A and B are shown apart, each in its own frame.
Chain A
Amino acid sequence: MPPFQEKSLFETWPALRYVIYAIIALILSVLHVVFLSLISVGSITPDLLLVLCVWIAITEGQFIGLFAGFGCGLLFDVVSADVLGTNALAKTLAAFVAGYFFKEKLADKTIGSYRFIVAVFFCSMVHNLSYFFFYVRPTDITFAGFFLKYGIASTFYTCVAAVFPMLIKAQKLSRH
């Protein structure tokens, strides 16, 4: 880097982006609980935190991604008053799967393309499989029927929600 070129804030404080991730996670979890019911379709809502976890895993790698998943899931468990650990486990596994889509220096291209939607789709399926498995366990509800109805619908809706960050990224890339 030329000696007199100014450094960006992220280059000065590399940990700053983790702080930003945390703030975005907090905002998204509150948004999810307070506002997302307005765009629900038959009680199905998109999982915005999962989209964030996949984004982080693709950008930062599998190791950082799985901790991001754990953190986002735990945060959502607290905010939504769900059983502590269920969302944490589901998002950890989803972010770990998303880590396999990580390619060094190609994160922006991955996020700005259809590969991001594919990643969100697979991660959402893993997430919902894990989450609904523990969700229906203490009840008499059959897992297969419940997952087919709610898990798959939620997966598709989350993929639709993931289209927006993908398009924003794609637009930024096309400008550069």
Chain B
Amino acid sequence: MYRIIEFIVRFKEYVSLSAVVVICFSLMTFGNVAQLGGFRAVVVGGIGWLQSAFSWIPNPVALKSENSALRELNLQLTDERAKIRQALIENDKLRKMLEFKKQTTFPIVTADIVGKTTTEVRNFATLNKGELDGIKEGMTVMTDAGIVGLIIASSKNYSLVRLLINRDSRVAAKVQRSRIDGILVWEGDQTLLMKNIPKSYDVKVGDDVITSEYSNRFPTNIPIGKVTEVRDEANSLFRKILVQPSVNFTSLEQVFVVKMLPNPERVALEKEIEERWKSRNIQQR
């Protein structure tokens, strides 16, 4: 016994170290007891109070790091917000188009505009669908808002549309309220003109203008625009009707192509008569 005590006293540092190490391992293994948890909660609460009391002291390093992280997050959020806005607008547009697609009785093909001009005298648009999708020359192009134009050429995968805002465009139109017929042509900018309407005819500002049943090229009763001005010309029996197209050609992105071709017999007859008149006019000169 004496020898054990002598040994312990002689090597007290190593014996104590071993005992303390064992205690530490015991604490690591069994240390998380409920009673200690309560005491710890008090300590943590006290430390937390102290930390909150001194939280006003600025930490430049942490602030700089937080600032940098926040700036990066801000940039990401700004980018996301722009994308979300774009997606919302596109979603809204597509919903309307989907609704129109459901309601319409015409067979239609959706297409995206991949190129267009709206500032020239003759304005065209290029679609990303062509003959492989069943698109042919002479088909009508429209949106849920109204008439866009006419397919004038198509390849396998692309089509060219002559827009309504084109010098060569002619649409047989009708004032929906008073059933007055006329021909719509483009007068420049974003305005269409209905010519040769007698002054006695009932046309008012705000009247809707739609495609006429006399048109062989366009389906009937498709919106074209609204009457914005009724101009009575001096020394003339006729008035000029200015029509604002219902389609916004500057923001046009998606369209429908109506898979309906004009009656070929009628087209051939009208063409033949037109050629006869042209040749007669030339002869008379």
Contact = CB atoms under 8 A, between A and B. Distances in A.
Contacts of A134: 28
Contacts of B61: 40-41
A33 B17 contact: no
Nearest to B31: A84
Interface stretch (A60-68, A119-127, A143-151, A159-167): A60-68
A96 interface: yes
A89 interface: yes
B57 A85 contact: no
A38 interface: yes
B64 to A, nearest CB: 12
Interface string B41-81: 00110010011001001010110000000000000000000
B51 A34 contact: yes
Interface stretch (A15-23, A48-56, A75-83): A75-83
A92 B24 contact: yes
Contacts of B24: 70, 73, 85-86, 88-89, 92
Interface of A: 30, 33-35, 37-38, 40-41, 62-63, 66-67, 70, 73-74, 78-79, 81, 83-86, 88-89, 92-93, 96, 99, 134
25 contacts: A33-B51, A34-B50, A35-B54, A37-B62, A40-B61, A66-B13, A66-B17, A67-B16, A67-B20, A70-B20, A74-B27, A78-B43, A81-B43, A83-B28, A85-B27, A86-B28, A88-B20, A88-B23, A88-B24, A89-B24, A89-B28, A92-B21, A92-B24, A96-B17, A134-B28
